[in-house]
Structure 1
Amino acid sequence: MAFRLIVPKNRLNTLAHLCNLKQSKIIGTLNRNLSVSASHWKRVAFNLSDIGEGIREVVVKEWFVKEGDVVEQFDNLCEVQSDKASVTITSRYDGKILKLHHDVDEIAFVGKPLIEFDVTDDESADVEEVSKAAEVVKGQVKSDDIEIKASTINPNKIITTPAVRRIASENKVNLAEVEASGPNGRILKSDVLEYLNIIPPKNDSNRSKPLIDKPCVQSTVQQPMRAADDRVEKLKDVRRVMFKAMTAALKIPHFTYSDEVDITDLVKLRNSLKVDAESLGVKITFMPFFIKAASLALTKYPILNSSVDEENESIIYKSSHNISIAMATQSGLVVPNVKNCEQKTILQIARDLNDLLERGRAGKLRPDDFQNGTFSLSNIGVVGGTYTKPVIAPPQVAIGAIGTMHIVPRFIGDTDKVQRAHLICVSWSADHRVIDGVTMAGFSNEWKRYVENPNRFVLQ
């Protein structure tokens, strides 16, 4: 069975290009009263553009295309991860993909080639028509049309990886002739190397043999167990970002200030507002109160909401309170920030925080979620910690860590009466180059006054 594809004569060059056919193989006689105009193709490099402030490299997480595919503008090409956020890269060209410069989990650099395209200079060419023609792969051309056998195997339909396709292409191997040994018929790298006689074939002749052919004689000597081999794993994704960030952070001279905070009244207030907040579609925890208290304290102590310009030996005071929140995700610990907390109510902060948490769990955080953070809070209490020494996230100059809540007995004032109290411990770390102990203690006491007396929020 064969399909007959009629192609206009002024598209023969284009079709030959997309189908990887040489023009000498296009058989036919053109009518003398028709002229053939060849489309002009050129090879262009698609460079990875800047996708975020200060980002110089990303990790390729997934390819949506493969070499040989024909794509249009705004088609999805791949997904990359940068600074803990996933970004989808789309095409800016109509054309054919000639080369993918990176495999999955490899690092791509901003400004360097990501993909190479074959695009046409002929803007009047009917790209849709040519793309449909290109879907019919190599065949036979007769007279003024092209006849392509349906039995021809399309190598792009074979299940394998871009790396294996590259090896096959470089060695002119037809993947349809390679025997697959991977799951679901996937062709592995070793399959291609065996086909090229680079590595010896798998020897399965001994797999079905019995373990022991002779009568079993129980050994009286216990064989020592062989220790497992060490495993080497390259740092990537969030761990790689953390490695770089913490290396830079620990160049900063830290000092830590800790205190104990009674949040008994805050517990009562939060419980009384919980149902009303849920009726508005907002889950309210203690964290929005802690964030708002930090923003109010930063207004009084603005140096903690600053960054250091080492080169010019100056301090940059930030006008916005973009408070970064450490949260655990499947990819690891990430620190997005709630923007402009100085302008928001506790309910608005809670809504923004819930949105960050949901997108963080789903791996949908954007680069903008991490940019321009000015101060950090970490709630280590969710994992049971009481005290810690938090590490500053440059270029910020301060960070706070809130421990788990304990219920303990406490004396009421100067009396002998004891009441049930809810206590937390908070630890602050600051950049000792620009912040002294008195300033850090003053900030902590101001934050503590709001948390211990939450009615003060009403005055703000």
Structure 2
Amino acid sequence: MAAAAAAVLRSGSRAAGRLICVCHTRSYSSVRLLKSKYVYAFDKSAFFNHQHRLFRTSAVSDGQIVQFKLSDIGEGITEVTVKEWYVKEGDSVSQFDSICEVQSDKASVTITSRYDGIIRKLYYNLDEIAYVGKPLVDIETDVLKDVAPEEDVVETPAVSHEEHTHQEIKGHKTLATPAVRRLAMENNIKLSEVVGTGKDNRILKEDILNYLAKQTGAILPPSPKSEIIPPLPKLETAPTTPKDKAHTIPVPISKPIVFTGKDKIEPITGFHKAMVKTMSAALKIPHFGYCDEIELNQLVQLREELKPLAQARGVKLSFMPFFIKAASLALLHYPVLNTSVDENCQNITYKASHNIGIAMDTEQGLIVPNVKSVQVRSVFEIASELNRLQSLGSSGQLGTNDLTGGTFTLSNIGTIGGTYAKPVILPPEVAIGALGKMQVLPRFNRKGEVFKAQIMNVSWSADHRIIDGATMARFSNLWKSYLENPASMLLDLK
């Protein structure tokens, strides 16, 4: 075949000819061997003008390109937002290696590889929408292995906000967050060449920037200012005589204000998109409101006594575990508040478990994870679970199971401020409570004496199609009695 090609090259006077097209090539020094696979006709002029294209070689692997598609991640989710790529084109991956992190309107999940091979194409950029069933990446692999579809998606493990990713490089572990690894990848920096200044030699973002500055000789720019203060307008006074000089009022010269900022349009995605759907459905429910105040002096004293014991066991004890447990004990007496109704309000379901949700304000938006089966948990166990949920929520790592299945919700708006609120029910639930800030206020005891009281306000909202005002008030009074006299909870604890 090589001789046939050479013959065609020598016959430059022919008007047209046939050339064996290069499909696979191997290079030995300056000699290239040709394998025939396809035959193409060519024009003589085109041949002499573009013959370098016909004989240009590239490294082609014998592997097969596989389109790795985004599998169904459940809960009726059809689209996700790509938040983090852990690989780039040309990287080698093995089975179960992390490929990317995506965020649905319910949770963040990590996508893992089903194949051993090389990443050939990424179908999405960061913050773009990826669709279930559509290609996510192209992987070149030698052997296609049978792996169950459900292995495509692995929920983000329960890790603390401080835990970082370890990367094995040249026989030792390099510690860096995914964001730092991405910064290094974008600038073609090997992490093994960067000296980490963080704890346990962890590589920080500043280490990458300093490394770049040393390589390029650049001077790192200072942090941008949050606002620009315009110069004060010049004051100009009219000429005056010595007599009325003391009564002169300076008149500023007005100048046109120039502002060069532009409006920015962003799509509503992730948790914000979920909030749009949920709140639109919630406001179709006829809400009934009820408010009260609770005196928490005894609870404050009890928490101060138990706080060191909880810390010794590695758990931060706040007031919220007591609020949650008291709500669960009250729900045992008023189970209608722990129910759900169908869309047409034709059927009501009494929930066996008390999965009490806690509204959290995070960088990703409002999320409501829930503590499962509160009715069989102790106050300490609730506190431990809250610590886990808060840690994952602050780092955006909550799983789908943490964010679904709630039956009753409390919103602690008092951590930000305010005494009363008007909480909105999360369908298909039928009730929600908003807790105000705790404050010291003067109150009268039974003897008419003024004393300092730790007061917290609560605002309840209930589905008025299912719950009447008297039921909501009785539930609130029972919940209040547990908190004002926390020792009374011992009678109902199981």
Q: What's the C-alpha RMSD, in Å, of the aligned pairs?
A: 2.9
More relative contact order, 1 or 2 (CA 8 Å, 6+ apart): 1
Match for residue 322 of structure 2? 289
Residue number among 327, 342, 345 corresponding to 2:375 in the alignment: 342
Q: Contact 2:290/2:461 (CA < 8 Å) preserved in 1?
A: yes
Match for residue 60 of structure 1? 82
Q: Contact 1:380/1:404 (CA < 8 Å) preserved in 2?
A: yes
**1:378 deviation in Å?**
0.8
**1:273 deviation in Å?**
1.7
Residues 1:113 and 2:135 are matched in the alignment: yes
Give the Cα–Cα distance (whole angstroms) in 1 for the partners of residues 276 and 187 of structure 2. 36
Match for residue 416 of structure 1? 448
Return structure 1 stretches of 4+ with deviation > 4 angstroms.
38-43, 157-160, 220-223
Residues 1:231 and 2:253 are matched in the alignment: no
* 1:9-65 CA-partner distances (Å, limit 9, x unpaired): xxxxxxxxxxxx9414553499xxxxxxx9975543322223343433221011122
Give the Cα–Cα distance (whole angstroms) in 2 for the partners of residues 452 and 277 of structure 1. 21
Structure 2 vs 1, CA of residues 285 and 296 (structure 1 numbering), >3 Å: closer, same or farther? same
Give the Cα–Cα distance (whole angstroms) in 2 for the partners of residues 235 and 385 of structure 1. 28
Match for residue 430 of structure 1? 462
SS at match of 1:404: strand
- Size of the aligned set, in residue pairs, is 344
Match for residue 23 of structure 1? 24
Q: Contact 1:378/1:401 (CA < 8 Å) preserved in 2?
A: yes
* 1:273-292 CA-partner distances (Å, limit 9, x unpaired): 22222222222111111000
Match for residue 123 of structure 2? 101
Residue number among 93, 107, 120 corresponding to 1:71 in the alignment: 93
Give the counterpart letter for 1:114 in structure 2: L
Give the counterpart letter for 2:467 in structure 1: I
**1:397 deviation in Å?**
1.5
Residues 1:272 and 2:305 are matched in the alignment: yes
Q: Contact 1:53/1:371 (CA < 8 Å) preserved in 2?
A: no
Match for residue 339 of structure 2? 306
Q: Contact 2:105/2:273 (CA < 8 Å) preserved in 1?
A: no
Give the Cα–Cα distance (whole angstroms) in 2 for the partners of residues 381 and 231 of structure 1. 32
SS at match of 1:296: helix
Give the counterpart letter for 1:116 in structure 2: D
* 1:370-404 CA-partner distances (Å, limit 9, x unpaired): 12111110111111210000011222221100101
SS at match of 1:387: coil
Structure 2 vs 1, CA of residues 382 and 221 (structure 1 numbering), >3 Å: closer, same or farther? closer
Give the counterpart letter for 1:247 in structure 2: S
**1:311 deviation in Å?**
5.0
SS at match of 1:256: strand
Residues 1:449 and 2:481 are matched in the alignment: yes
Give the counterpart letter for 2:359 in structure 1: A
SS at match of 1:405: strand
Match for residue 397 of structure 1? 430
Give the Cα–Cα distance (whole angstroms) in 2 for the partners of residues 85 and 357 of structure 1. 14
**1:324 deviation in Å?**
0.7
**1:239 deviation in Å?**
2.4
Structure 2 vs 1, CA of residues 312 and 325 (structure 1 numbering), >3 Å: closer, same or farther? closer
Residue number among 100, 108, 111 corresponding to 1:89 in the alignment: 111
Q: Contact 2:105/2:269 (CA < 8 Å) preserved in 1?
A: no
Deviates more, 1:222-231 or 1:298-307: 222-231
Residues 1:331 and 2:364 are matched in the alignment: yes
Give the Cα–Cα distance (whole angstroms) in 1 for the partners of residues 127 and 288 of structure 2. 38
Match for residue 239 of structure 2? none
Larger Rg: 2
* 1:115-139 CA-partner distances (Å, limit 9, x unpaired): 233444577xxxxxxxxxxxxxxxx
**1:416 deviation in Å?**
2.6
**1:112 deviation in Å?**
2.8
Structure 2 vs 1, CA of residues 389 and 376 (structure 1 numbering), >3 Å: closer, same or farther? same
SS at match of 2:476: helix
Q: TM-score, normalised by structure 2?
A: 0.64
Structure 2 vs 1, CA of residues 122 and 411 (structure 1 numbering), >3 Å: closer, same or farther? closer
Q: Contact 2:323/2:483 (CA < 8 Å) preserved in 1?
A: yes
SS at match of 1:321: coil
Give the Cα–Cα distance (whole angstroms) in 2 for the partners of residues 359 and 377 of structure 1. 19
Q: Contact 2:420/2:459 (CA < 8 Å) preserved in 1?
A: yes
Give the Cα–Cα distance (whole angstroms) in 2 for the partners of residues 54 and 257 of structure 1. 35
Question: 5+ unaligned residues in a row in structure 2: which ranges?
Answer: 1-21, 36-59, 146-184, 189-210, 214-251
Give the Cα–Cα distance (whole angstroms) in 2 for the partners of residues 236 and 29 of structure 1. 52
Q: Identity rate of aligned residues, in percent?
A: 54
Question: 5+ unaligned residues in a row in structure 1: which ranges?
Answer: 1-20, 31-37, 124-156, 161-182, 186-219
SS at match of 2:133: coil
Q: Contact 1:62/1:104 (CA < 8 Å) preserved in 2?
A: yes
Give the Cα–Cα distance (whole angstroms) in 2 for the partners of residues 392 and 108 of structure 1. 30
Q: Contact 1:44/1:119 (CA < 8 Å) preserved in 2?
A: yes
